[in-house]
Amino acid sequence: MKLTCLFIGLMLMVSYDAGATFFKYKDSSGAVVITDKLENVPKKYRNQFKVIWDADLEAKDPLERRKAAAWASQQKREQEQEEERKKAAEKKKSSDGKRLVITIDEETGQLIRTME
């Protein structure tokens, strides 16, 4: 029984340390302070601090949101460029090395398009 309790206690400690934990509190001036060590939270604020996880902090951080949006935008641009390259390659394949020649009929003024 003691061994089981010890094992469970060790597992809880390991899982607690595995995630990045931050401590958030407001100081006397009203500024929000975030630290990664509980020892850095002054004793007078220890009754009001809030534990936040790395993912929560990242989701609320405007800089991280902008980075994520920029990354998503970059991925979208790269995907669109790749699709355009594929379309251009398909056009080259479909023309079989021919080129489009446009001439103007002098009598009617119409454009004449031919593949040569």
20-41 confidence digits (pLDDT tens): 678 888 888 988 888 888 888 8
Encode pLDDT of 41-57 as tens digits: 888 888 888 877 766 66
pLDDT of residue 16: 45
**Tokens encoding 42:** 């002054």
Residue 113 identity = R
Q: List, in sequence order, every residue forming a beta bridge with 35; answer none if it has no partner.
A: 23
The sign one gets for the Cα dihedral 35, 39, 42, 47 is positive
Q: Are 88 and 63 in contact (CB under 8 A)?
A: no
